[in-house]
Amino acid sequence: MKSGLKIATIGGGSSYTPELIEGFINYHSELPVREIWLVDIEEGKEKLEIVGNLAKRMVQKAGVPIEIHLTLDRREALKSADFVTTQFRVGLLAARELDERIPLKHGVLGQETNGPGGLFKALRTIPVILEICREMEEFCPNAWLINFTNPAGMVTEAVLRYSNIDKVVGLCNVPIGMEMGVAKLLEVDHKRIRIDFAGLNHMVYGLDVFVDGVSVKDQVISLITDPDKSITMQNIHAIGWEPEFLRALDVFPCPYHNYYYKAGDMLEKELKNFKAGGTRAEIVKKLEAELFELYKNPNLAVKPPQLEKRGGAYYSDAAVRLIHSMYTDKQDIQTVNTMNKGAIASIPFDSAVEVSCIITKNGPKPIAMGDLPIQVRGLVIQMKSFERVAIDAAISGDYGTALLAMTINPLVPSDRIAKVILDEMLESHKKYLPQFH
């Protein structure tokens, strides 16, 4: 009988890894992790060693009996794993830079998970996650796949549709970040907050907000109309909402909705930064370089506070809280990406959605939210259509399907511009898109 849990983390050389290690340390009394295998690719070997050595110092300082293993052999890491977490970036930050720069060059929003950038991140990532799923079938068929890799919703749906792995949960830190933001706004403990979430990854809405079971939605919407109190993320330079619009919307938008309801303003801001020589990818590169210099310090044995600037706030809270609740059959409510199963009436039963769920040892059980309000339903359905077509393009490598996905994305203004951007991005990313070449 196993004496503890084995975690395999694919993309273990990520700058986010100390967040994950901190979470497992904090939960260790109730979540008996015995081994954490951090696995990466040859190009990430140096970062893996730096962050892996920090992870070893962290568990040593905490005095918890967790073994940290570093490897470039994914199959070795997967053997008999109980949970597989994925946090990888195909093409590394250089690919993200292209995802942001090429669309902006053509006057279209360049963003990591939205618009053309989101499409190409999916095209590069989905074949790799399906390869991982095939290896999981062989080496850890009973493991749960906990996916943090963006675009998390599309990756989760691809696994559900095109692999034999059904024990998969997609996770994002946006919902927990919104909960924490509301708690801060209302000056109450986060544990007293509950938000009914429904939608898609990076397209999720808070349908209602509760403190101790009493709805405070109107109060929260009123508060976030103040630009100084708007709930934002490190990686999104939000502008502030029109108060009348938010009150009429009557639901709580997520930070990524800025790209849709303030498309012109956000594009203008991104173009200004682009012309000045910088996109978010360049900022992240600089932050990562600084973080890894910190990680090298042999006297550092805790997660440095500078990591919060990276955009991963509450990442370990979300990740380890989910694994803990599944392991202990806690049956608490968390928001994850999972098969809809009728929870949101206007989205197909077998599609992946981001929705409030009861977390059990058998996985998430989506809570029925009924239909989305009419004022947001159309945008969500349009994005789900885009996601489905994008996934089909990633699997088939069909040019026409990729062009269709690009064109129906609401952030792309025409089929002509879609084709120009598609052609340039296919050429620029061809190393990571063998299915198209």
Per-residue pLDDT tens digits for 406-418: 999 999 999 999 9
pLDDT of residue 280: 86
Q: Residue 232 pLDDT more than 70?
A: no
Q: Is 116 helix (H, G, I), strand (E, B) or coil?
A: helix
pLDDT-based confidence at 278, cuts 50/70/90? confident
Q: What's the mean pLDDT in 332-337?
A: 98
What's the token pair of residue 38?
Answer: 């951090």
Q: Residue 401 pLDDT more than 60?
A: yes
What's the token pair of residue 44?
Answer: 């990430």
Question: What does pLDDT average to over the chain?
Answer: 94
Q: Residue 233 pLDDT more than 60?
A: no
59's CB contacts (< 8 A; 6+ apart) are 21, 25, 66, 68
Cα 290 from Cα 306, distance rounded (Å): 9
Cα 86 from Cα 126, distance rounded (Å): 12
Q: Residue 1 pLDDT more than 50?
A: no
Q: Residue 162 pLDDT more than 50?
A: yes
DSSP state of 227: G
Which helix (H) or strand (E) element contains residue 170? strand 168-170
Q: Are 188 and 164 in contact (CB under 8 A)?
A: no
Residue 295: phi and psi, rounded to 5, are: -60, -30
Q: What's the mean pLDDT in 64-68?
A: 98
In the residue annotation, 432 being an active-site residue is answered as: no
Q: Are 157 and 352 in contact (CB under 8 A)?
A: yes
pTM as predicted: 0.95
Q: Residue 229 pLDDT more than 80?
A: no
Q: Residue 234 pLDDT more than 60?
A: no
DSSP state of 196: E
pLDDT of residue 341: 98
Q: Which residue is associated with the tokens 């509450």? A: 314
Cα 102 from Cα 422, distance rounded (Å): 10
Q: Residue 98 pLDDT more than 60?
A: yes
Q: Are 333 and 356 in contact (CB under 8 A)?
A: yes
pLDDT-based confidence at 339, cuts 50/70/90? very high
Which one is catalytic: 27, 256, 259, 315? 256
pLDDT of residue 364: 98
Measured between alpha carbons, how far apart are the two ends of the chain, in Å?
48
β-pairing verdict for 5-10 and 83-86: parallel
pLDDT of residue 9: 98
Strand partners, 334: 357
